[in-house]
Amino acid sequence: QVQLVESGGGLVQPGGSLRLSCAASGFVFSDHYMSWVRQSPEKGLEWLAYITGRDSSVYYSNSVKGRFTISRDNGENSLYLQMNSLTADDTAIYYCVRRIYYHSGSNFDLWGQGALVTVSS
């Protein structure tokens, strides 16, 4: 079954850290770019970062650059998001997403169920 399953969400205090994990199954994980996308009522859907399939090159949105780190373990079919210096603005549902390239762009064709991260004292 082709799926992505996130884990690691929860309540964290402002200034704290949290690490999200995403377990992939049903497809050749190492063949695919992967991303993290979050959703909040205030900001809507927001792409955060992507990582390439085999050489793990990374790219971040300006909103999380320097605070969040995306990584992967192809042997474990897993994607990670290390989040540091969290603020209330980071409160959101975080989705693990597979990114597919086509001739003129890319899309997010497979989404996990989401992990809720709440930043509050």
Partner 1 sequence: DIRMTQSPSSLSASVGDRVTITCRASQSISNSLNWYRQKPGKAPELLIYAASILQSGVPSRFSGSGSGTDFTLTISSLQPEDFSTYYCQESYFAPYTFGQGTKLESK
Interface with partner 1 (CB under 8 A)? 44-47, 59, 61-63, 95, 102-109, 111-114
Taking the complex as a whole, the smallest distance from the CB of residue 58 to partner 1 amounts, in Å, to: 12
DSSP 88: G
End-to-end CA distance of the chain: 39
Taking the complex as a whole, the smallest distance from the CB of residue 117 to partner 1 amounts, in Å, to: 15
Of 106, 114, 113, the residue nearest 33 (C-alpha): 106
Q: Report the residue number, 8 or 16, with the smaller CB distance to partner 1.
A: 8
Q: Report the residue number, 16 or 93, with the smaller CB distance to partner 1.
A: 93
Q: Report the residue number, 60 or 80, with the smaller CB distance to partner 1.
A: 60
Taking the complex as a whole, the smallest distance from the CB of residue 13 to partner 1 amounts, in Å, to: 27
d(CA 44, CA 39): 5
Of 34, 15, 37, the residue nearest 23 (C-alpha): 34
